[in-house]
Structure 1
Amino acid sequence: MMLIEETAPAAEALPVAALREHLRLGSGFEIAQDSAETAALTGFLRAAMAAIEARTGKVLLTRRFRMQLDDWRDRLGQPLPLAPVIAVEAIEIDDGAGTVTQLPVASWRLLPDSQRPMILPTGVILPHVPRRGMVSVVFTAGFGADWASVPADLAQAVLMLAARYYEDRSLDGGRGAMPFGVTSLIERWRQVRILGGRGSREMRR
């Protein structure tokens, strides 16, 4: 499976002001509001978001992804590797010989789920993927477009982790371990990943 993030969260959606306040309260010092410091805080927030999303499989701010598979994991239903999924925009099958076919919307449906959303066939099974072909699924996932949409515990975990990155910015390997407080906040959001979104041919290798 290959998962490509096609859009990124807008910088304005990131809680830079909240992180600045969190750092001020934690250190007792005012954090500068110049452009260089703002850019640094934005970078720490993006890194913290990426780490939290990787641990939980949850997309915090809405954006578009493309999942590419060499085959369906199961033609009775294909799990998506991220949640919550808002919409599946397109499903395409490349036959490996230059022909790409977009599946009719009427041939599949999205089964929403907080842990493992799925694409299900409206008929008996999902369409055949040629042996040298590939299937691509374009979907939009996330809790919302603004930070207020992110669940409170996940939002707090991001701030705490970004603050740790900020404090450890001069240390080599400072981003290796996730603080216990952060892991406690995200624990209920974590999912057990069995096979993920891998295609059936990939599983047989």
Structure 2
Amino acid sequence: MILVEETAVATAALPVVQFKEHLRLGTGFSDDAVQDAVLESFLRAAIAAVEARTGKMLLSRIFTWSLTDWRHAARQALPVAPVVQIQAVILKDRFDEATPVDAARYSLAQDAHRPVLEAVGSCLPVVPPHGGVDIQFEAGYGTVWADVPADLAQAVLLLAAHYYQYRAETGLGEGCMPFGVSALLQRYRPVRVGLRAS
């Protein structure tokens, strides 16, 4: 299973102004934008860390998830949330020849933690032997920072500020994720339910 981010978060969507206000950086100077590239890099790192911890994509972009087979014949849970739409399902044979699946054969079941690609009918199309399937989808809360839930947005600013403050740290300890950030992310963490083998 391989998840590929096909489109990146646009620089214009990053909350650079809010981050400057959060850091209480001075304004009104001729070199106000001199740190923008550095601040953007810390914001991107914080967004990536929050998304990795929660499995929630903050800003909308396109992904391709490549599988060798379905986990269940009639449904396939997707690796991240929230999924806005399934753009394509493409079967690939052993020679990498692609065959798009008719969109009438599947649907998206929305879920806050684990959206699902479901079969319309009894089962999803059979994956060719020694081949695979690519699921292309759009995921994210929205295209602008205002679409991101307030607590996740605050967690990003807190974590980016932490990275900024400890940018010279190379060891553990002070560089670990702050408790306040972990607390904000807690309710978004995916719930793992399973039975232990006896």
Whether the TM-score (by the shorter chain) exceeds 0.5 is: yes
Paired with 1:87 and 1:114, the residues of 2 have a C-alpha distance of 14
Structure 1 residue ranges without an equivalent (≥5): 196-205
Partner of 1:74 in structure 2? Answer: 72
Q: 1:162-181 CA distances to partner (integer Å, 9 max, x unpaired)?
A: 00000011111469521100
Choose from 103, 106, 130 the match for 2:104.
106
User: Residue 49 of structure 2: SS of its match in structure 1?
Assistant: helix
Aligned residue identity for 2:129: R
Correspondences of 1:39-78 after superposition (within 5 Å): 39-78=37-76
Equivalences, count = 191
Which string of whole-angstrom CA distances, capped at 9 and with x for unpartnered residues, describes residues 156-203 of structure 1? 0000000000001111146952110000001101103579xxxxxxxx
1:183 aligns with 2:182: yes
> Comparing 167-176 with 149-158, which one deviates more in the overlay?
167-176
Q: Percent identity?
A: 49
Q: CA offsets per residue over residues 93-151 of structure 1, 9 Å max, x none?
A: 10112421100001101111111000000010111112210100000000000000000
- TM-score where L is the length of structure 1: 0.88
AA at the equivalent of 1:104:
D
SS in 2 for 1:188: helix
User: Unaligned stretches of 5+ in structure 2?
Assistant: none
The CA deviation at 1:75 is: 1.2
Distance 1:184 1:98, change over 3 A: closer
Amino acid at match of 2:90: E
> Match for 1:30 among 26, 31, 45?
26
AA aligned opposite 1:109: S
The CA distance in 1 between the partners of 2:125 and 2:18, in whole Å, is: 47
- Range 29-38 or range 127-136, more displaced: 29-38
RMSD: 1.8
TM-score, length-normalised on structure 2?
0.91
Deviation at 1:76, TM superposition (A): 1.5
